[in-house]
Amino acid sequence: MKNTENKKVYIYDGSYQGLLTALFRSFKQREIPAKIIAKSKFRDDLFYERVEVKTENEKAQFFSSQIKEHISAQALNNIFHAYLSESEKMELYIFRYLFTGFKVGKKVDEFLTKDYVRQVQDLAHKVRHESHRLKGLVRLQEAAGGKYYAAVEPDYKTLALLAPHFKNRFSTMDWIIHDKKREEAVIFSAAEKEWLLIDLENEFEPELSLKEKDVQQLWQAFFSAVSIKNRSNPGTQRQFMPKKYWKHLIESPGSSRKFKIK
């Protein structure tokens, strides 16, 4: 690859397909960009030449299959999950990871002395960890009309990882999981058996069904009753269920201390 004179910044639309298109362009043109950055994060910079990359699904698709074939399925997973972290410089780590990957193949994941390999793996790991956690912590509420709704505010953009899990589990229900932080949602229809990512404003809140509050109260009661008194251990509780997730739980951690069967 040659280093072009005037340094370029690739600007993509923020989607995964967009990132893949940008990466594809770079590898195809044998051109190393100084930065790859989502449009929403880009601030004008005089020193760089701006290249706006238009998302092209076909190219993205093709590039994915190239990664799978010439590096590994695991590598493709890693970069997708690292992308979901939305962390700063994630794009460049991914770029370097792939750069090495296309040279050495699936062994790239053993290059642990390379900073960018570790970074990609660590970011991917963090995203997977949070998504696993959320599989347990997501709390659905029955809305009027029989659809189910859950709000989440995860650190990472995990909806795409949650969707397949909840599709298998709740395939006979219509449901929405709403990422309030990112103002997007995954929406599933039992009739279509398919899920879709949509934009959904932060303020959205459905009207709840008549029985919803009763069920929630039962769950709160159960949660308090199953704690063993005198063995209070808030440390362990918070280690597995950090406070940042409590807002959207129905139960209230700590409530068993007030609980007593009369």
Partner 1 sequence: MELQKKLEILSDAAKYDVSCSSSGSSGRGDSSSLGNTKAAGICHSWTDDGRCVSLLKILFTNYCIYDCQYCVNRASNDRPRASFTPEEVAQLTVDFYKRNYIEGLFLSSAVCRDPDWTMEQLLKTVQLLRNKYNYQGYIHLKAIPGADFKLIYQAGMLADRMSVNIELPSESSLEKLAPQKKKAGILAPMKGIGAGIENNIIERKKYKVKDKFVPAGQSTQLIVGASPESDRQIISLSEGLYDHFNLKRVYYSAYLPVNNSSLLPTIPGPPLKREHRLYQADWLLRFYGFKADELLTPGRENFDLKIDPKADWALNNLDKFPVEVNTAGYEMLLRVPGIGPRSAAKIVKARKEKRLTHYNLKKMRIVLKRANFFITCDGKYAAAVPFESSVIYDRLAENESQQLSLFGSSSGSNQGWDLEKAK
Contact assessment for residue 33 and residue 24, using Cβ atoms and an 8 Å cutoff: no
Closest CA to 219 of 196, 249, 248: 249
When binding is defined by CB under 8 A, the residue of 110, 222, 244, 247 that contacts partner 1 is: 222
Write the interaction track for partner 1 spanning residues 80-119; mark x where CB under 8 A is met and - where it is not: ----------------------------------------
Would you count residue 234 as binding partner 1 (CB under 8 A)? yes
Instruction: Give 11 or 140: the residue with its C-beta nearer to partner 1.
Output: 140
Would you count residue 169 as binding partner 1 (CB under 8 A)? yes
Would you count residue 27 as binding partner 1 (CB under 8 A)? no
Size of the site for partner 1 (CB under 8 A): 50
When binding is defined by CB under 8 A, the residue of 168, 189, 197, 243 that contacts partner 1 is: 168
Q: Which stretch binds partner 1 (CB under 8 A): 27-35, 44-52, 106-114, 223-231?
A: 223-231
List contacts with partner 1 (CB under 8 A): 132, 135-142, 148, 150, 166, 168-173, 193, 215, 217-219, 221-228, 231-237, 240-241, 249-251, 253-257, 261-262
